[in-house]
Amino acid sequence: MCAVMPLANSARSASGPITLVVIGDSLSAGYGLQEGDAFPPKLERALGGKGHDVRVINAGVSGDTTAGGRARLAWTLGEGTSAVIIELGANDALRGLAPEQAFENLSAMLADLQSKGIPTLLAGMKAPPNMGEDYARAFDAIYTRLVEKYNVVFYPFFLEGVVGNPALNQDDGMHPTPDGVDIIVAKILPDVEKLLSRIK
């Protein structure tokens, strides 16, 4: 087995680890899970296993909408934030909030991060089928529109490979189990490494 070489930008161990902040809702906060089983700590361990010296900060808030994420962005970012993952939108869709409102909130966040020179990964979400085809089409499209507008790394669907599988979700059918989180981490990891390569 060939050794995995860490990205050049990850070689910051001499001056401390890279700080990656995950701004999200309950899916990243780790609703219903032990603290160590949430997405951020599992992502940190996976990155460490690939040779990256990265500290992943869990800035997920259960129930948060894109408006909530936008409102708390300024004080969520620490002085040493090197990169950000945005995982928001699920609660907007569950509440039937206007897709254009979600677009504007996420757009404002991405514009702010871009102005600060902070590389960002945008994790997409899909509207639940019970919201109807028209709503789902409008909502799902906001993420591709944002990617076209901003130079961000894009992971199209945060729950890819997990949604709809009872074995990978808690009893509520919406939040992943520890095994479900493992799958999310494994699938998103290449894009997170792409994000790290953008850190200057």
For the segment 45-87, what is each residue's pLDDT rounded down to a tens digit?
999 999 999 999 999 999 999 999 999 999 999 889 999 999 9
Choosing from 10, 26, 28, 82, which is the catalytic residue? 26
Choosing from 15, 115, 134, 172, which is the catalytic residue? 172
Six-digit token pair at 136? Answer: 């789902």
Q: What is the pTM of this model?
A: 0.92
CA distance 113 to 49: 28
Q: Which residue has the tokens 């902040």?
A: 21
CA distance 90 to 107: 16
pLDDT confidence bin for 4, thresholds 50/70/90: very low
- The secondary structure element, H or E, covering residue 111 is helix 99-115
Give me the domains of the chain, ranges plus CATH numbers: 19-196 (3.40.50.1110)
CA distance 146 to 159: 19
175 in catalytic set: yes
172 in catalytic set: yes
For the segment 152-170, what is each residue's pLDDT rounded down to a tens digit?
999 999 999 999 999 999 9
Do the Cβ atoms of 25 and 87 come closer than 8 Å? Answer: yes
52 in catalytic set: no
